[in-house]
Structure 1
Amino acid sequence: MTTHVQLHDRLDYQSVMPLMEELKAITDDDLVIDAGNLRHLGTLPLQVILAAVKQRAARGQTTRLANASDGCVDMLSLFGFTPETLTQPEVWT
């Protein structure tokens, strides 16, 4: 089964706990994170997403980033990621 998570337009330090709780609660084998509305991505929420991706990969679960907005792509590139590499821990670990 696949779970879809829609990211808010702004992920900053106030988004960390709700995002972490939402991602931790997902137990399905496939997770699609929809970043179509994302315009701002802070460092702490990015770390939450990376931790979730890494933990899921260790359990054999897949995570995919879909519909990355131009703002999302721009923000990810500042951190050295692309929408594809963000969900491939073998690339960045």
Structure 2
Amino acid sequence: MTTHVQLHDRLDYQSVMPLMAELAAISDDTLVIDAGNIRHLGTLPLQVILSAVKTRAAQGKSTRLANASDNCVDMLGLFGFTPETLTQPEAWT
């Protein structure tokens, strides 16, 4: 089964706990994270997403980032990621 999560337009320190709870509650084998609305992506929410991706990968589950907005792509680039590499822990090293 697949779960779709729509990210909010502004992910900053205030969105860390709700995002962490939302991602931790997903047990489906496939997770699609829709980043089409993102205008701002902070370091802490990015770490939450990376943690969820890595944890899910260790459990044999897949995660995919979909519809990344131009702002999202730009901000991921600042951190050294692309929408594709963000969800591939094996590419992080």
TM-score range, shorter chain: over 0.9
Distance 1:27 1:46 in 2: 20
Unmatched runs of 5 consecutive residues or more in structure 1: none
SS of the counterpart of 1:63? strand
Distance 2:61 2:81 in 1: 20
Alignment of structure 1 residues 1-93 onto 2, 5 Å: 1-93=1-93
**Alpha-carbon RMSD:** 0.5
Compute the displacement of 1:42 (Å): 0.2
Compute the displacement of 1:38 (Å): 0.5
SS of the counterpart of 1:27? coil
| Structure 1 runs of 4+ with >4 Å offset | none
Compute the displacement of 1:37 (Å): 0.2
* One-letter code aligned to 1:18: P
Aligned residues: 93
**What TM-score, normalized to structure 1?**
0.99
**What TM-score, normalized to structure 2?**
0.99
